[in-house]
Each structure stands twice: as C-alpha cells, then as structure tokens.
Amino acid sequence: MDGYTIGDLARRTGLTVKTVRFYSDKGIVPPSGRSHSGYRLYDLDALARLDLVRTLRELGLDLATIRKVVDRELSLPEVAAAHAEALEVQMRTLRLRRAVLTAVARRGSTPEETDIMHKLARLSEDERRRLIDDFLDATLTGVHAGVRCSLTPELPDDPEVEQVEAWVELAELTQDAGFRAAVRLLAEHYPAGASVPRPDPVAIIRSRVRQAMAAGIDPSSPEAKALVAAPVPHLEATADPRWNRYLQLLSIVNGWPPPEDPAPLHEWYRKASQA
C-alpha cells in the first residue's frame, strides 16, 4: 500500500521521528494502513493533521484540546479565541513581573522588600480593589461616592515601573493605623452625602495664602496676621505629609497630573501664625 512512513512525515514536517510516533500512538495522527512489512503508513490527511498539530503545539495548546480540534469536536476559531484570552492574561502577568523586577533592580531592594513588593503587585484586580475598599470603608464612611472614586487607585493592566512602585508604597500606606486616623479626621470635614466640603475653609485659606505668597506678602506682616486670625479646622490634618504622599502616589498610579505641593503654603501659614 502506498503512503508516507513515520520517517517521511518527520522529514516533511520538521518533527522528530519520536514525536511523530508519539502523536500516532496517542491517536491524534492515526495511520491509514500498514505496509507489507507491517510498518505504519499515513496519507495526505494525516500529513495535514500533523502540520496542524505542530502549529497548535507551538501556540501552546495542550494535547487534549488539540485532539478535540483535529477530531472536529471543537472549532478552531473557538479554541483560538479562548487561547488568545488566556495568553493575554499571561502577558499582563509577565509585564507586571517585569515592572516589579525592574523596580527592584533600580531601588536596590532587600529580599524582604522584594517579597513584599511582589506580593502586593501580583494581587488580582479584585484583590487590589478589596484592599483599597477596606481602607476607604474604614476612613471615609458616609462620604460621597464621587470623593471615594477620586481617591481610588487603579493600577493599569500594563503598568510602568513607576506605577508599580507607587502602587506598592500606596498599598503599604493604607495599612498604617496612624494614617487611617488622619484620613478619618479629614473625612469629618465632608458632610454625609456631600460631593464637596461645604463650606471648605481649608481650600479657602489655601487660596488666600497662595494669593498672599504671589503678592509677596511677608508672613510676619499685619496683612498676613489677618489671614490667620481665626483657626482653620483640619488644616493641620491636610498638612500631614502622609496625606500629601498618598495624593502624589495616587496621581502616579492613575496617570493623573501631579497634585500641587501644599508644603510651601502650610509653611507660610505656620510662620504667619507664629508671628
């Protein structure tokens, strides 16, 4: 009987004889007959099946799925779509790991820091959301949803190294008990359900101080004294460097413009108050 031997299939496909025999033994590429000497022979359909099997294996499909495709139990488009989705998840994971390793190399992290960074960075999107929701639930109870949204970090699927570093530092910051207490104090300035503080003396005084600094008013002058005559609630809390760091990290993670550094404003206000 005419046909291709296992050696012929190996030469035509570039596979090894051992590999072709393995697929044949598994029934994925069955022989079409036998030679007079008892050797397995294969037809053109077997050659086509073997080419398809080789291609699908190179794409990473497992043998069980390949068998269903060549036996027409599954359509190739369905398998391709599912496999493409799985590969996308793997690629996102690899990109995240690359960003973590790059951050470790750049920071010169210790093994302990590297372990923490890796654990925090590889959290799934749902796990990251739960971590942040726990922080916001504990600190912003009753605050308008719009405010919560503006304070929620969203690490992208393909983050830059700086975003990974910022996310790790931000995640660690949200677990700090002292920082949580400071944020709860700030939240008291937002009436339940209000989307913005009403009124907002902190924003008002910052605006006035910004104008005074732009006008070159000395913090020890009488004009400055008038600005600080009445105490401003929560101003000290907003001056907490941890809060300002949170806003900076949040901007990096979300790809937003950097926030204004309030330190010069608070320093001017402090000098005016002491004067």
User: Quick check: 212 pLDDT over 50?
Assistant: yes
Give residues with Cβ within 8 angstroms of 118, minimum separation 6. 97, 100
Measured distance CA(267)–CA(226) in Å, rounded: 16
The residues, any chain, with a CB within 8 Å of residue 248's CB and separated by 6 or more, are: 258, 259
pLDDT in tens, 15-41: 999 999 999 999 999 999 988 888 899
Confidence band, pLDDT 50/70/90 cuts, at residue 197: very low
**Which token pair is 262?**
């309030």
Do 127 and 174 touch, CB atoms closer than 8 A?
no
Instruction: Return the half-sphere exposure (C-beta side, CA atoms, 13 A cut-off) of residue 54.
Output: 15
Residues 6+ apart with CB under 8 A from 51: 13
CATH number of 6-73: 1.10.1660.10
Q: What is the dihedral of CA 121, 124, 130, 132, to 10 degrees?
A: 30
Look up tokens 């008892």; give the residue.
38
**pLDDT tens by residue, 41-59:** 999 888 988 999 988 888 8
234 pLDDT higher than 90: no
Nearest Cα residue to 174 out of 149, 143, 138: 138
CA diameter of the chain: 113
Task: Encode pLDDT of 130-178 as tens digits.
Answer: 999 999 999 988 777 778 888 999 988 888 889 988 998 999 999 999 9
Contact (CB, 8 A) for 78 and 140: no
- Neighbouring residues of 183: CB distance < 8 A, sequence distance ≥ 6: 139, 140, 243
Please give the Cα distance from 265 to 80 (Å, whole number). 58
Pick the closest to residue 195 from 264, 137, 142 (CA basis).
Answer: 142
- What residues does CATH 1.10.1660.10 cover in the chain? 6-73
At 5 the pLDDT is: 92
pLDDT at 90: 81
pLDDT on residue 72: 86
Q: Is the peptide bond preceding residue 259 cis, with omega within 30 degrees of 0?
A: no
pLDDT band, very low/low/confident/very high, at 233 (cuts 50, 70, 90): low
pTM of the predicted protein model? 0.61
